[in-house]
């Protein structure tokens, strides 16, 4: 059969896999989640008619004994905690990641490749396993406490686990590569002669950092912050394992709705709310950057 240039068919053929991925594997599940959030949960999982906004109402209202809606901050508090944890994780990742990326970017090329490899090593193992390792390290009989006891720094084991701090540490640990790599990518391309030029023009170390490196690294920092903040907001492995389910975050809350609580509708509603929040934030950021660019 001759390969006639039937361009229309070719386009469909070439775009097919991408279209399939986007429509069937992404858009369709989204529609399902959206639909489920407006249905009534079945007792053993799943959802059925009638259509209702009950799940969304429950996010901000509780019902008292007389079935009257009362403003209830339980879930909002979970949401707020998630926001704070994600924000803290982003800031911590930046504080650790920026100097680390700078260090990596200023090594000789061979060293650089090796260091990038080291940063990506955690990706070779499942996050669940890695977080569980932290439990082994941080628990009362864990390595950290053994060292502290042996060094005489504490008489009784320190309880690290099942706290906001432990969750935060777990999130920072898991997200750090996502901050380091984009910043490294930007810094690696930074022309060393620019630094010499600034140094020559009476700029000290601090001025070079503030006036030259920071502005040029900002796109990498923005990408890194986004890659850390958004997944941290919905993180559930670290909160579930290191928080022991005591300190709820929105990711664990959603996971609970689909497992133990068997409230698919509410779980879906929470997912949609989270997604809408992130999307609104991104649109706001994009607009702001667009206006920055135009001015």
Q: Which residues bind other proteins (CB under 8 A)?
A: 191, 193-194, 196-204, 207, 211-212, 215-216
Closest approach, Cβ 2 to other proteins, in A, equals 48
Choice between 16 and 204, CB closer to other proteins: 204
Choice between 96 and 216, CB closer to other proteins: 216
Choice between 63 and 218, CB closer to other proteins: 218
Q: Is the dihedral of CA 212, 217, 222, 225 positive or negative?
A: negative
Closest approach, Cβ 58 to other proteins, in A, equals 49
Closest approach, Cβ 204 to other proteins, in A, equals 6
How many CB atoms are closer than 10 A to CB 122? 13
In the chain, the N- to C-terminal Cα span, in Å, equals 57
Closest approach, Cβ 178 to other proteins, in A, equals 24
Choice between 6 and 210, CB closer to other proteins: 210
Choice between 116 and 185, CB closer to other proteins: 185
Choice between 140 and 196, CB closer to other proteins: 196
Q: Which of 80, 282, 100, 82 is nearest to 177 (CA)?
A: 100
Choice between 33 and 198, CB closer to other proteins: 198
Burial tier of 125 (Cβ tally within 10 Å: 0-12, 13-18, 19+)? exposed
Cis peptide before 220 (omega within 30 of 0): no
């Amino acid at each position: 059969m001759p390969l006639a240039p039937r361009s229309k068919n070719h386009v469909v053929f070439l775009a097919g896999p991408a279209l399939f991925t986007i429509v069937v594997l992404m858009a369709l599940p989204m529609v399902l989640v959206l639909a489920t959030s407006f249905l009534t949960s079945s007792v053993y999982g799943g959802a059925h008619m009638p259509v209702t906004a009950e799940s969304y109402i429950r996010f901000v209202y509780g019902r008292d004994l007389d079935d009257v809606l009362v403003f209830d901050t339980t879930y909002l508090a979970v949401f707020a905690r998630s926001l704070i944890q994600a924000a803290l994780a982003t800031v911590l990742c930046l504080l650790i990641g920026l100097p680390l990326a700078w260090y990596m970017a200023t090594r000789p090329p061979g060293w650089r490749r090796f260091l990038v490899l080291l940063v990506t090593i955690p990706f070779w193992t499942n996050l669940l396993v890695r977080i569980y390792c932290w439990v082994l390290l941080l628990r009362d009989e864990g390595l950290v406490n053994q060292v502290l006891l042996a060094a005489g720094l504490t008489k009784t084991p320190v309880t690290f686990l099942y706290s906001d701090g432990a969750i935060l540490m777990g999130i920072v640990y898991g997200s750090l590569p996502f901050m380091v790599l984009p910043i490294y990518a930007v810094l690696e391309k930074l022309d060393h002669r620019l630094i010499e030029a600034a140094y020559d023009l009476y700029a000290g170390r601090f001025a070079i950092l503030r006036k030259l490196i920071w502005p040029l690294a900002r796109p990498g920092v923005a990408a890194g912050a986004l890659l850390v903040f958004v997944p941290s907001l919905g993180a559930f492995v670290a909160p579930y394992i290191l928080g022991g389910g005591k300190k709820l975050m929105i990711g664990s809350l959603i996971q609970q709705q689909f497992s133990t609580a068997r409230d698919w509708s509410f779980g879906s509603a929470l997912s949609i709310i989270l997604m809408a929040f992130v999307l609104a934030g991104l649109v706001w950021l994009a607009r702001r950057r667009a206006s920055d660019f135009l001015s």
